[in-house]
Amino acid sequence: MTSPAESSADPPFLRIAAELRRRIEGGELRPGDLLPSTRQIVREFGVAMATAGKALTALRQAGLARPVPGVGTVVDTPGVSPRTPHDRRRPAASLDRGRIVRAGSAIADAEGLAALSMRRLAAELDVTTMALYRHVAGREQLILLMADAAFGEFPLPEPLPPGWRHRLETAARQQWAMYRRHPWLAQAVSFTRPLLAPRAMVHSEWMMRALDGLGLDPATSLHIHACVAAYVRGVAADLESEAAAAAHSGITGEQWMDTRGTPALTGPSGGTAFPNLALVPLRSLDLDTLFEFGLHRLLEGIAALIASPPP
């Protein structure tokens, strides 16, 4: 028989709470286990952040969960002895740097770079925080290793394809795909203090080789590489905040423009307050279309430089 909490007429947060309760009562989640975070609930059930938070609150009010500062919400079933931290933690010997980096990337992909801390990562891996420091020096080194791994997922072709323009376009598209997969990465990359990750430097070397034979001095080649890479990173800088906004509000950027764009362009009397902006279709500023437009204009400028280099 379907319980009241599982009724399709109930609010989404109650249905989610009922599903998590089923997992607890069925033994999938045991006392002391970490419950899904609000962002994980958003991804799994396709709801807004506020709805996910209400579901966890409902479990706490039912006495099935409790918050643990710096860790998250854990199962707290009355009458059942929770596993001790020693029981829950996996042996430190099972850790290695690759596993730590993959777990860190998964947290940052799902919740943003701000959500990543050594304590949070230790909870995700069921180890002590100190166990992590045997493999990485701290959060700064962890992010460097995560970025290096991300660049390694998108190797550039060897041998180089023909033509400098095709080569630079190939590199730019690889980097755009990389930022799309890992939105947090744009916040980790800097051009004033370059990312000294080996596989990121492989990308830099490849892009400079793409300009071989054009008569450019090394500094100009470096500047061309940096301009292209900085352009891609600049457009990608909004990917993480957009993903967070969509998760929190439950609406996409396109839906936001549909509901907010028209009123913003309309004056108080119902007329057009911004006539030039009003002529543009509301969804014209999609990040992918902006990336394509800017990339081609940038390559045209580089072509002009190559055709007529300054003295």
Domains of the chain: residue spans and CATH: 4-74 (1.10.10.10), 92-136 (1.10.10.60), 156-239+288-307 (1.10.357.10)
pLDDT at 80 over 50: no
pLDDT value at residue 94: 74
pLDDT in tens, 25-58: 888 888 878 888 888 888 888 888 788 888 988 8
DSSP letter for 283, please. Answer: G
Q: Which of 186, 147, 169 is nearest to 224 (CA)?
A: 169
pLDDT at 309 over 50: yes
pLDDT value at residue 1: 38
How far apart CA 165 and CA 83 sit, in angstroms, is: 59
Pairwise pLDDT comparison (1 vs 94), residue with the higher score: 94
What is the pTM for the complete model shown? 0.67
And the tokens for 226? 């940096």
> CA angle 81-118-82, nearest 5°?
0
% of the chain beyond a pLDDT of 70: 79
Total Cβ atoms within 10 A of residue 9: 7
Q: How confident is the model at residue 143 (pLDDT cuts 50, 70, 90)?
A: very high
